[in-house]
């Protein structure tokens, strides 16, 4: 078949390439990004997509062209060559520079997302205890209890952080227990202390572009700040106005294997339109939890 | 040992070993290689069947399974349970990695090719070599038995992260509070892999010794075929990394059996109302130990294929390998860097994020030697005279697909992007582009290429090409869309995504990939048919059917016991002298005393 193989490779590779352009039109793409990490992470994704796309096309075109142009010619000989020093230098140095560049631009975003020292003062603090197979949240009664103000000294910041961690590890009687729901409001920097009582889990909010495994024996803080709202607490009906369409239904998924029902550790993310809406909801939740027996509240951790 | 001495010609024709010594407890490296090849093939089909079951569930979640449904307990109603699903994807990966890919690359090809390509009569330690195969059998058997023990086979993924895998019940109780599959099944899994590790270790010391000590006259290091370089570096990787895995496995085994707490955190764990009591360990320790082995191990799973593909491409492009030395350095670079990047599997694990930054930089840089290798393969076919044999097609597919697998690695190495795509199908796509689309195509290339040497007959080229075309097509249809659903956030190891608003719209792609996977699975029977048909009816092969240069083609097909008639060959030049302008033919074997002498190491 000779040159035909070049065409065969070409057609299949072209199909894989085109899939990247077709997929977004079917919605098979990054889900809406609704946190401050969104634009940063997505930009880095597109940057890498650009560079890798370029090298994909480059190498595959060379391959397919060579398969066509240099397919077997009986009686002829190939060009006798063992290599080319200059070429080796070029194709080592250029990718080296590009790769190093790609690595360096990641650093600041990674720091913003994961370094504890970079986490801003939290407007809301939530404690999450994972277990097979649910997320158990606790909200402090006083919403911004662990927030420090911008002028705080490093020591004051440290004290606040220690207090928050201590709270996350030791439930208090007036905490509000909620299962499988993260509540915050748009623009609030939200800090979540993650723990697990049994196996590893991974707390993932795809729309927020955040993910963190939970580790038995450790309390791990993460944070995010939503840039869009999807909920409003209606004080009259005392109900959450639930997002009408799928794209606004933001979820929590577990992304570290944790047993049979790993797939079913689903939670929801409610970003309220305002702090008032959040606090209205919180007040309602307090009433609800007070109407339950106290033992149950304590046992909910 | 007199192995490296010439054996007089009459000797090997007279020694007639009995059936048992010749085919079963053989000490001949070629027979041991073939044994590894056959057992690998059996497990390829078992692993493949498990994969199809996994795909059926993902494609049509919780659907009634035709036929297989009847084998399930009546209480499941012909459907798969989530625990069963977890078990089969864990066993799929375990079998494919530890029973197919590693034994095929190092066990089958390493054994068969090393002595032949360096001009030795056998391995340095033939008995140890035989043992390395037979130690695999306890491993195979324990793993198979584990499917039938209470709770079923292991179900914590091939990575077996504690505490899901390691949580144990108090004295006197069996099973695990974490998962039904983490009971006896997990214990057997651990013991089985201990045996597999011992086998690999025996192989690796043998390969290292053989390659260092038993090269024939004239076979300098820089005249070794790429396959040998790759096998050599792979063996070193194994020798250095395996002890760490062995230790990790033993620690977990102790946790599970005698109640140590290496992976149990100080405060213990609570499952429902049951508390484990205090530990004193750290679950993250397993991940460090495991990946300290398993990252180098992913290179163990591809370097030999890279070596074989280099040889095959040069042969069928009828052109010297482009940049021999850079290729050798790239292998060494991959192996060296491979030891300092294990943390890229743990970016989201709770490891200090500052460590993540360091691991990220090392990981992104490891793409460099991979890129250098790719460019050199392209340089090899450029201005070549390419013969499209089945072996060559599979080798070219390796190059093309490895580019995709390598490039997707960069996304995940970038820590912020990995925050999003970690543990999504993007990883699954990456794994399969490097392990299936690269390594398995490399293995197929190797089988088509060396089959005449192994069995003295040619495989059918027609069937070979049909098999290649259908495999290339259906494998891309199966695995490529995984990138897209990964970008869509589709988590890996999920029993059912349709309960999520965020992911459910990806479901049509899942169904599509399942159909493609089924086709892919059935297409492999063409290969098996070709393999066994050719064993009996294939055209008889002469010594050097592909007009290749390396030493194995100096031996008869198949080579007798002791490999070479008369003296072992002498080597006069590098293995890639194709298309030399001063020769009549377009090839000039390493063992040919006449003709233009050396181009040192075949490189500039
Ligand atoms: C260009 C070079 C490569 C880079 C930069 C790279 C990078 C990575 C990264 C960062 C991960 C972890 C992703 C995550 O869990 O979030 C990963 C996973 C993986 N890589 Fe690679 N990789 C490369 C080449 C390879 C090769 C050559 C192989 C095997 C032959 C391989 C096999 C794997 C496997 C099996 C996993 C998944 C392990 C698991 O979680 O089950 N990679 N790779
Ligand atoms: Cu989970
Ligand atoms: Cu790795």
Other CB atoms within 10 A of residue A46 CB: 13
Q: What is the pLDDT of residue B15?
A: 59
Q: Chain A closest CA to B574's CA: distance in Å?
A: 11
| Joined tokens for residue B161 | 């992260």
Q: What is the pLDDT of residue A300?
A: 42
Q: What is the pLDDT of residue B598?
A: 64
Q: What is the pLDDT of residue B4?
A: 46
In this structure, the answer to whether residues A109 and A214 fall within a common structural domain is no
Q: What is the pLDDT of residues A102-157, one digit of tens each?
A: 999 999 999 999 999 999 999 999 999 999 999 999 999 999 999 999 889 999 99
* pLDDT confidence tier of residue A292, bands split at 50, 70 and 90: low
A positions 28-87 inside 8 Å of B (CB): 28-31, 37, 40-41, 44-45, 48-49, 51-52, 55-56, 59-60, 62-63, 66-67, 70-73, 76-85, 87
Best probe of the A interface among B160, B315, B357, B420, by most A CBs < 10 A, is B420
Q: What is the pLDDT of residue B604?
A: 39
**pLDDT tops 70 at residue A298:** no
Contact A198 B167 (CB under 8 A): yes
The structure's pTM equals: 0.94
In this structure, the answer to whether residues A148 and A101 fall within a common structural domain is no
The residue whose CB lies within 8 Å of the most ligand 1 atoms, and thus the one to mutate among B302, B428, B434, is B434
* pLDDT confidence tier of residue A1, bands split at 50, 70 and 90: low
Best probe of the A interface among B402, B502, B596, B601, by most A CBs < 10 A, is B502
User: How open is the CA angle B513-B519-B523, to the nearest 5 degrees?
Assistant: 140
* pLDDT confidence tier of residue B599, bands split at 50, 70 and 90: low
User: How open is the CA angle A224-A230-A234, to the nearest 5 degrees?
Assistant: 120
CB B413 within 8 A of CB A110: no
**pLDDT tops 50 at residue B234:** yes
**pLDDT tops 50 at residue B330:** yes
Q: What is the pLDDT of residue B391?
A: 97
**Minimum CA–CA partner of B411 in chain A:** A48
Task: From B302, B402, B298, B301, select the one nearest B345 (Cα to Cα).
Answer: B298
Instruction: DSSP for B410-468, please give it.
Output: HHHHSHHHHHHHTTBHHHHHHHHHHIIIIIIHHHHHHHHHHHHHHHSBPPPHHHHHHHH
Strands A124-131 and B270-271: unpaired
The rounded Cα A155 to chain-centroid distance in angstroms is 30
**pLDDT tops 60 at residue B173:** yes
In this structure, the answer to whether residues A136 and A10 fall within a common structural domain is no
User: How open is the CA angle B431-B432-B434, to the nearest 5 degrees?
Assistant: 70
CB A97 within 8 A of CB A29: no
Q: Chain A closest CA to B584's CA: distance in Å?
A: 10
The rounded Cα B78 to chain-centroid distance in angstroms is 34
Distance CA B182, CA B166 (A): 7
Burial B583-600 (b: 16+ CB within 10 A, else e): beebbbbbbbeeeeeebe
**pLDDT tops 50 at residue A299:** no
Segment A154-181 mean pLDDT: 94
The rounded Cα A267 to chain-centroid distance in angstroms is 14
Segment B184-197 mean pLDDT: 96
Segment B429-457 mean pLDDT: 97
Cα B487 to ligand 2 centroid, rounded to whole Å? 19
Q: Considering chain A, what percentage of its residues have pLDDT values greater than 90?
A: 83
CB A125 within 8 A of CB A140: yes
Domain presence at residue A76: no
Domain presence at residue A78: no
Best probe of the A interface among B368, B386, B492, B547, by most A CBs < 10 A, is B386
Q: Which ligand is nearest to the CA of B409?
A: 1
* pLDDT confidence tier of residue A56, bands split at 50, 70 and 90: very high
In this structure, the answer to whether residues A165 and A277 fall within a common structural domain is yes
Q: What is the pLDDT of residues B15-34, one digit of tens each?
A: 567 777 777 788 899 999 99
Closest ligand 1 atom number to CA of residue B159: 41
* pLDDT confidence tier of residue A293, bands split at 50, 70 and 90: low
Task: From B439, B482, B480, select the one nearest B307 (Cα to Cα).
Answer: B439
In this structure, the answer to whether residues A134 and A41 fall within a common structural domain is no
Q: Chain B closest CA to A145's CA: distance in Å?
A: 25
Domain presence at residue A79: no
Q: Using a CB-CB distance cutoff of 8 angstroms, which residues of chain B are in contact with residue A20? A: 484
In this structure, the answer to whether residues A202 and A169 fall within a common structural domain is yes
Q: What is the pLDDT of residue B24?
A: 79
| Cβ neighbours for B181, distance < 8 A, ≥ 6 positions apart | B83, B86, B87, B90, B151, B152, B153, B154, B155, B156
The residue whose CB lies within 8 Å of the most ligand 1 atoms, and thus the one to mutate among B344, B358, B373, B398, is B344
In this structure, the answer to whether residues A44 and A170 fall within a common structural domain is no
Number of A/B CB contacts below 8 angstroms equals 350
Q: What is the pLDDT of residue B603?
A: 42
Q: Classify B29-265+286-554 by CATH class.
A: mainly alpha
In this structure, the answer to whether residues A140 and A234 fall within a common structural domain is yes
Helix (H, G, I), strand (E, B) or coil at A148: coil
Domain presence at residue A149: yes
Q: What is the pLDDT of residue B436?
A: 96
- Pick B378's closest partner by Cβ from A59, A79, A216: A59
Q: Chain A closest CA to B164's CA: distance in Å?
A: 5
Q: Using a CB-CB distance cutoff of 8 angstroms, which residues of chain A are in contact with residue B383? A: 70, 78-79, 81
In this structure, the answer to whether residues A64 and A151 fall within a common structural domain is no
B532 vs B600: which has the higher pLDDT: B532
- Pick A215's closest partner by Cβ from B283, B423, B472: B283
Domain presence at residue A77: no
Segment B574-599 mean pLDDT: 88
* ω into B422 cis (within 30 of 0): no
User: Which residue shows structure tokens 């990946």?
Assistant: B291
**Minimum CA–CA partner of A260 in chain B:** B83
Q: Which ligand is nearest to the CA of B419?
A: 1
In this structure, the answer to whether residues A192 and A278 fall within a common structural domain is yes
The overall average pLDDT reported for chain A is 92
| Contacts by B247-250, CB closer than 8 A, 24 or more apart | B247/B289, B248/B286, B248/B289, B248/B290, B248/B293, B249/B190, B249/B193, B249/B194, B249/B197, B250/B194
Q: What is the pLDDT of residue A128?
A: 97
Which H or E run contains B390? helix B390-413
Segment B94-107 mean pLDDT: 96
Q: What is the pLDDT of residue A166?
A: 96
**Minimum CA–CA partner of A221 in chain B:** B350
**pLDDT tops 70 at residue B417:** yes
Segment A260-285 mean pLDDT: 94
User: Which residue shows structure tokens 């956030």?
Assistant: B489
Instruction: Choose the weakest-confidence range: A184-198, B18-32, B66-80.
Output: B66-80
The overall average pLDDT reported for chain B is 92
Q: Considering chain B, what percentage of its residues have pLDDT values greater than 90?
A: 84
Domain presence at residue A155: yes
In this structure, the answer to whether residues A285 and A166 fall within a common structural domain is yes
* pLDDT confidence tier of residue B5, bands split at 50, 70 and 90: very low
Instruction: Choose the weakest-confidence range: A92-96, A200-204, A252-256, B266-270.
Output: B266-270
Task: From B443, B447, B440, select the one nearest B474 (Cα to Cα).
Answer: B440
Distance CA B6, CA B226 (A): 26
Q: Based on the structure, what is the number of domains in chain A?
A: 2
Domain presence at residue A15: yes
The rounded Cα B218 to chain-centroid distance in angstroms is 31
Asked which of A114, A131, A165 is the last residue of a domain, the reply is A114
Which residue range forms the structural domain that includes residue A105?
A: 4-71+84-114
**pLDDT tops 50 at residue A290:** yes
**pLDDT tops 90 at residue B72:** no
Segment A259-268 mean pLDDT: 95
The rounded Cα A62 to chain-centroid distance in angstroms is 36
A8 reaches B (C-beta below 8 A): yes
State the virtual CA torsion across B280, B283, B284, B285 in degrees, nearest 10. 60
**Angle of helix B303-317 relative to helix B390-413, nearest 10 degrees?**
140
Cα B601 to ligand 3 centroid, rounded to whole Å? 32
**pLDDT tops 70 at residue B543:** yes
In this structure, the answer to whether residues A155 and A237 fall within a common structural domain is yes
ipTM: 0.94
Q: Chain B closest CA to A30's CA: distance in Å?
A: 5
Task: From B136, B137, B116, B126, select the one nearest B26 (Cα to Cα).
Answer: B126
Contact A41 B419 (CB under 8 A): yes
Q: For residue A158, what is the domain's CATH number?
A: 2.60.40.420
Segment A223-243 mean pLDDT: 88
Contact A1 B164 (CB under 8 A): no
């Amino acid at each position: 078949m000779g040159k035909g193989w070049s065409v065969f490779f070409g057609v299949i590779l072209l199909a894989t390439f085109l899939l990247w352009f077709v997929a977004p039109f079917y919605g098979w793409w990054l889900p809406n990004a609704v946190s401050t990490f969104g634009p940063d992470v997505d930009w880095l994704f597109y940057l890498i997509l650009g560079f890798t796309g370029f090298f994909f096309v480059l190498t595959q075109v060379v391959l397919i062209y060579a398969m066509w142009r240099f397919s077997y010619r009986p009686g002829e000989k190939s060009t006798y060559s063992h290599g080319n020093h200059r070429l080796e230098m070029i194709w080592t140095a250029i990718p080296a520079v590009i790769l190093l560049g790609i690595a360096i631009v990641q650093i600041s975003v990674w720091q913003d997302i994961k370094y504890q020292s970079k986490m801003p003062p939290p407007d809301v603090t939530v404690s999450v205890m994972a277990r097979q197979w649910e997320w158990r949240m606790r909200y402090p009664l006083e919403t911004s209890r662990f927030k420090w103000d911008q002028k705080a000294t490093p020591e004051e910041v440290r004290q606040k952080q220690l207090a928050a961690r201590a709270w996350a590890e030791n439930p208090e009687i007036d905490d509000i227990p909620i299962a499988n729901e993260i509540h915050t409001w748009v623009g609030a920097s939200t800090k979540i202390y993650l723990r697990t009582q049994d196996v590893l889990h991974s707390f993932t909010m795809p729309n927020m572009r955040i993910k963190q495994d939970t580790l038995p024996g450790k309390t791990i803080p993460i944070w995010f700040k939503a840039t869009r709202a999807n909920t409003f607490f209606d004080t009259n009906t005392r109900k959450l106005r639930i997002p009408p369409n799928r794209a606004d239904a933001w979820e929590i998924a577990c992304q570290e294997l944790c047993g049979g029902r790993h797939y079913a550790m689903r939670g929801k993310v409610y970003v309220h339109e305002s702090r008032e809406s959040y606090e209205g909801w919180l007040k309602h939740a307090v009433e609800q939890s007070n109407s339950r027996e106290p033992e149950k509240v304590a046992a909910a951790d | 040992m007199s192995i490296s001495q010439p054996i007089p010609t009459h000797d090997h024709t007279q020694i007639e070993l009995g059936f048992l010594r010749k085919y079963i407890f053989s000490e001949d490296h070629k027979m041991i290689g073939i044994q590894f090849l056959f057992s690998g093939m059996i497990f390829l089909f078992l692993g493949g069947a498990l994969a199809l079951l996994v795909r059926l569930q993902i494609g049509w979640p919780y659907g009634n399974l035709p036929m297989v449904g009847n084998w399930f307990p009546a209480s499941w109603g012909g459907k798969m349970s989530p625990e069963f699903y977890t078990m089969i994807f864990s066993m799929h990966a375990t079998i494919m990695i530890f029973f197919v890919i590693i034994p095929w690359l190092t066990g089958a090809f390493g054994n068969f090719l090393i002595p032949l390509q360096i001009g030795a009569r056998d391995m340095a330690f033939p008995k140890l070599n035989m043992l390395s195969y037979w130690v695999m059998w306890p491993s195979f058997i324990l793993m198979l038995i584990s499917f039938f023990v209470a709770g079923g086979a292991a179900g914590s993924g091939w990575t077996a992260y504690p505490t899901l895998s390691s949580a144990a019940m108090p004295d006197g109780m069996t099973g695990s509070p974490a998962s039904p599959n983490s009971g006896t099944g997990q214990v057997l899994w651990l013991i089985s892999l201990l045996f597999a590790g011992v086998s690999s270790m025996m192989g690796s010391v043998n390969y290292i010794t053989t390659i260092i000590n038993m090269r024939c006259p004239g076979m300098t290091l820089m005249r070794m075929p790429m396959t040998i370089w790759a096998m050599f570096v792979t063996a070193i990787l194994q020798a250095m990394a395996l002890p760490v895995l062995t230790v990790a496995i033993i620690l977990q085994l102790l946790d599970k059996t005698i109640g140590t707490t290496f992976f149990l955190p100080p405060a213990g764990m609570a499952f429902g109302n049951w508390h484990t009591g205090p530990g004193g360990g750290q679950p993250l320790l397993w991940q460090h130990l495991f990946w300290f082995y398993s990252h180098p191990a992913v290179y163990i799973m591809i370097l030999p294929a890279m070596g074989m593909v280099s040889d095959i491409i040069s042969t069928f492009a009828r052109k010297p390998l482009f940049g021999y030395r850079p290729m050798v350095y790239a292998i060494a670079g991959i192996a060296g860097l491979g030891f300092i990047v294990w943390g890229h599997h743990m970016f989201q694990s709770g490891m200090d994020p500052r460590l993540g930054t360091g691991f990220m930089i090392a990981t992104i840089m490891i793409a460099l030697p991979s890129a250098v290798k790719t460019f050199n393969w392209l340089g090899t076919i450029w201005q070549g005279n390419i013969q499209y044999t089945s072996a060559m097609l599979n080798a070219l597919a390796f190059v093309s697909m490895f580019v995709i697998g390598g490039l997707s690695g960069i996304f995940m190495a970038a820590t912020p992007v990995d925050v999003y795509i970690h543990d999504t199908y993007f990883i699954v796509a990456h794994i399969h582009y490097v392990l299936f689309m690269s390594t398995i195509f490399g293995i197929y290339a190797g089988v088509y290429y060396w089959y005449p040497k192994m069995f003295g007959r040619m495989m059918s080229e027609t069937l070979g090409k049909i098999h290649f075309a259908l495999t290339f097509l259906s494998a891309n249809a199966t695995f490529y869309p995984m990138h897209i659903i990964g970008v869509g956030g589709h988590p890996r190891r999920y029993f059912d995504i349709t309960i999520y608003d965020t992911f459910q719209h990806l479901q049509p792609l899942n169904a599509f990939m399942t159909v493609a996977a089924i086709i892919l699975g059935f297409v492999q029977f063409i290969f098996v048919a070709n393999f066994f048909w050719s064993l009996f009816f294939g055209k008889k092969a002469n010594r050097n059917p592909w007009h290749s240069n390396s030493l194995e083609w100096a031996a008869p097909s198949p080579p007798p016991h002791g490999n070479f008639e008369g003296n072992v060959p002498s080597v006069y030049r590098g293995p890639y002298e194709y298309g030399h302008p001063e020769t009549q033919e377009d090839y000039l074997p390493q063992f040919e005393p006449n003709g233009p002498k050396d181009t040192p190491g075949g490189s500039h």
